[in-house]
Structure 1
Amino acid sequence: MSFKIIASVGLGIIFGHLFLSQELLQYTNIIIDIGLCILLFFVGIDIGRNKKAFSKIKNMGFKILLIPLMIGIGSILGSIIGGFLLNLPVNESSAVGAGFGWYTLSSMMLMQYSSELSALAFISNVSREIIALISIPFVSKYIGDLEAIAPAGATAMDTSLPIISNATNSKAAIIAFITGVILSSSVPILVPILINI
């Protein structure tokens, strides 16, 4: 699966460079949205046909909230450690980490603070998503299904969900979706709080 993702991105770069005109480029966002909706529709079908997964999630109760909480704490602490290596203040590095992989929103929110920090947030969170897409199958295979949700962060509810669903099981896919929703909802709250500390 990871090889297919890397190959698809590589082919897309070649196709875009060689064949895509400026007139067609204005429609790429619409095409991406349609493709993502179709992909998530089929992931939903796969999740919905497994009735046992829903009962297992119900039995977990509020403990399910520990997964996004731990991913959030780990992401922010990891970015603070990375910030020390780059000589960044704690408020800046933690705000970048609080993007949880949602590169468009976090970089736009930090643009008001600093264009350099906005660029760092964009690059960091795009890198997180790419690393997640490549590493999720390996994390699932060698560490565990629930652990495979962590690299995705906020993207566990959209772009990374098909990879998580394919690499794990229906229960983990449902938890990934819930985790992605919670982390995505946290980004517009945590980024302004952390940057203003």
Structure 2
Amino acid sequence: MNGQAGNGALIGCPTDPTQTGTHGVVSTWIPYEQTGPQCHRHWAGTSMAAPHVSGVVGLMRARNPALTASQVKQILVKTAKPIPCTNCGAGMVNAFGAVQASTFTLSITCESTGGGGYACTSSPTGLGPWTATWQGVLNAAVNPAQANNPATTHGTCTVNTQARVRATSPTRSAAR
């Protein structure tokens, strides 16, 4: 796929029998000797991949501006669709998958266990891993053995009062 960009078929351009390949992406084109209107041709290689991947990264960052370069790369590689090609990287960029994976959502559910106790569970989706430190904020105390368990925590709370527990992550936090 790469290295053949110069042989891409012309579409709506003056006929050129040397331009026959139909691989790659259709893009606008003005033949070198032509000064008139644009036509189209098939292009492939990094010169076509770079703007497409950059556009996907822009969509990812629009959805989650806190993404680091390392996270962006990890998501692009993880969501790429494998293709039968040698030396083509992780595969074909998957815009939908990459944008979906760039979001982190967290749902925390806490319920009374009776007698002044509570239990909380977290349900993260998207970027991982999710790490947390749980803290009692209002009328609640976290069991020290569960303070660093991102999946669940439990502890005690004052009976018949509103209680609040916070899960704090280095980059994310949620309170319930």
Asked if TM exceeds 0.5, the reply is no
Q: With CA pairs under 8 Å and 6+ residues apart, which has the higher RCO, 1 or 2?
A: 1
| Structure index of larger Rg | 2
**Greater per-residue helix proportion:** 1
TM-score norm. by structure 2 comes to: 0.25
